[in-house]
Amino acid sequence: MAEPEYRVWMPKSVPPRVHYSWRPGRWVAEPAWPSPNISERRLFLSPGRLGEHAEGETALEIHSPQWLGFSAGEWCAHGLSNDLPADQQFDDGAAVCFETAPLAEGFEILGAPVAHLEVSADRPNAFVVARLGDVGRDGETTLVTYGVLNLTHRESHAQPAPLELGRRYRVRVQLNDVAHAFPAGHRIRLALSNACWPTVWPSPEPVTLTIVTGASSLVLPVRHPRAEDADLRPFEEPEAAPAWRRTVLVPGKSERRIERDPLRRLTTTTVLSDDASTGWMRSISRSASPRSSATASRTTTRPRPGSRSPGRRPAPAAPGGSAPRPGPS
């Protein structure tokens, strides 16, 4: 049976939510990958704007607060009730952003967007984060994809090299592959920062990056519609084992809280997931101090009420006859 080599779900634009029970879209396919059906659309950076034409060079500084990134969701989302990216407006307010005018026509992207940046730094160790956002008519911003580059890896991951202070480098920041449909009337936003906590561990000391607009650009992989998409054979119902029988004793819950202490300049996020086990992760950062960042997690398992605990088995003897101390449950 003839099938296309590459099939992917092309999601429609939706408002940002930390959980979706369903993302509308459609299946699309390419006969090969890389596909000749993908073309590049280059947008040039100018202060506050993304445009089709390059303008004069302007140096813009990036010195992000260490808490930037709390709206990014989990690094590896599992589709739970609160692990997807939230509205990006809060993080974008602390980033350096470039934005198109409202789109006259919608279009689709498929593949890896790439930011080509002219950048310098005032420290030998730094990184840059590029986030691509879909800005709705009401300003709500959905995270489409993002990419991170440790600038000491600008030429090689195997042989990183420190930055020369103040020297301009041309770097390529590849964002994660994605499929997305930008509708007419929405805007495209590129947000640049040098913090993305807690997804990325901070640089060892505060860093100021300088981005040179006019010499920097964003390349989008534009997918052109194919009539063959309408004829794709639908997938059959998935096969799975029968669902487990279970009794809900206590309804589960999931929370994500962000707390700010302006007096101590601390930002704390707490992620709570309560099902058969109770787990939480807490991340703390201080606005201007990379070394203040910390994260901790804990999981507690509760036996079913009325059930017998199997108890702890004796630990095996260690060499020399002494038993090792039991670790945490």
Dump pLDDT digits (tens) for 112-144.
Answer: 999 999 999 999 999 999 999 999 999 999 999
What lies within 8 Å, CB to CB, of 280 at 6+ separation is: 270, 271, 272, 273, 297, 298
The pLDDT of residue 279 is above 80? no
Q: Kindly indicate the confidence band of residue 288, based on its pLDDT and cuts at 50, 70 and 90.
A: low
> CA-to-CA distance for 223 and 225, rounded, in angstroms?
7
More confident residue, 43 or 274: 43
> CA-to-CA distance for 74 and 316, rounded, in angstroms?
37
More confident residue, 218 or 20: 218
Do the Cβ atoms of 282 and 270 come closer than 8 Å? yes
The pLDDT of residue 273 is above 80? no
The pLDDT of residue 99 is above 70? yes
Three-state secondary-structure class, residue 230: helix
The helix (H) or strand (E) run that includes residue 89 is helix 89-92
Among the listed ranges 44-58, 95-109, 275-289, 314-328, which one has the minimum average pLDDT value? 314-328
Predicted model pTM: 0.85
Q: Kindly indicate the confidence band of residue 180, based on its pLDDT and cuts at 50, 70 and 90.
A: very high
Q: What is the DSSP letter of 284?
A: E
Hey, what are 53's tokens? 């034409």
Mean pLDDT across the chain, nearest whole number?
86
Do the Cβ atoms of 61 and 210 come closer than 8 Å? yes
Residue 75 to residues 121, 129, 143, Cα–Cα distance (Å) = 26, 14, 13
Q: Kindly indicate the confidence band of residue 301, based on its pLDDT and cuts at 50, 70 and 90.
A: low
The string of pLDDT tens digits covering residues 184-196 is: 999 999 999 999 9
> CA-to-CA distance for 246 and 248, rounded, in angstroms?
7
What is the number of helices (H) and of strands (E) in the chain? 1, 19
Residue 138 to residues 37, 187, 247, 267, 283, Cα–Cα distance (Å) = 32, 11, 43, 27, 30
Residue extents of the structural domains in the chain? 6-225, 253-301
Q: What is the mean pLDDT of residues 317-322?
A: 43
Q: Strand pairing partners for 212? A: 59
The string of pLDDT tens digits covering residues 206-231 is: 999 999 999 999 999 999 999 999 98
Residue 236 to residues 47, 217, 239, Cα–Cα distance (Å) = 49, 42, 9
In three state form, how does the secondary structure of 3-68 look?
A: CCCEEEEEECCCCCCCCCCCCCEEEEEECCCCCCCEEEEEEEEECCEEECCCCCCEEEEECCCCCC
Quick one: what percent of the chain has pLDDT higher than 90? 59
Fold assignment, 6-225:
Jelly Rolls (2.60.120)
